Amino acid sequence: MRYTANMLQASTSKPAILFVCLGNICRSPMAEGALKSAAAKIGLDVIVDSVGTANYHIGQAPDPRAIAVARANGVDIGGVIGRQLTEMDFLDFTHIFALDTANMAGIKARAPRHGTARIALLLDAVEGREGKSVPDPYYGDSQEFEQCWKTIDEACHALARTLARDGVNARF
């Protein structure tokens, strides 16, 4: 489900998380699914979405390899539809997480002065991995997608625990 500004603004007491990679077909949809799953396991009420910085895959489903690895881990991301980062995302979400440093730079370059979202790397949620990127599996094989899933899932479980503890005030 994609969220509108009205839906997000009506729920300011709960975290609203946006994951960002380049095309919104591999890492960010996997992160969206992983966080939804991790949050459900601990009863965390959170809004989760994903986007890309580029417009390559707008309107498309995630890469079949990403769908397969998520499904193999009990998570369905087949309904995610690619979209591109917008200015409103900086107002509608409490936190925006880049999957790598290159997209982090793109996010910061697009951030409006009046944006309120906290911006960080996903791996900033994992102690000892702060400042690190999640490798892009797009040009790899199924093993690279599986390793990517493991990295993202670990980070999303850590993120869910932090959000459960600190809510919208979580800092990374």
Where in the chain are the domains? 5-165
pLDDT of residue 58: 96
What's the mean pLDDT when you consider all of the chain?
Answer: 94
pLDDT band of residue 21 (cuts 50, 70, 90) is very high
- pTM of the complete model beyond 0.85: yes
pLDDT band of residue 13 (cuts 50, 70, 90) is confident
Mean pLDDT value of segment 4-8: 47
Strand partners, 52: 21, 84
Q: Would the pLDDT of 158 be above 70?
A: yes
Catalytic residues: 21, 27, 136
CATH superfamily entry for domain 5-165: Response regulator (3.40.50.2300)
Q: Would the pLDDT of 6 be above 50?
A: no
Q: Give how far Cα 167 sits from Cα of 19, 139, 142, 151, Å.
A: 17, 36, 35, 23
Mean pLDDT value of segment 57-85: 97
Mean pLDDT value of segment 110-123: 97
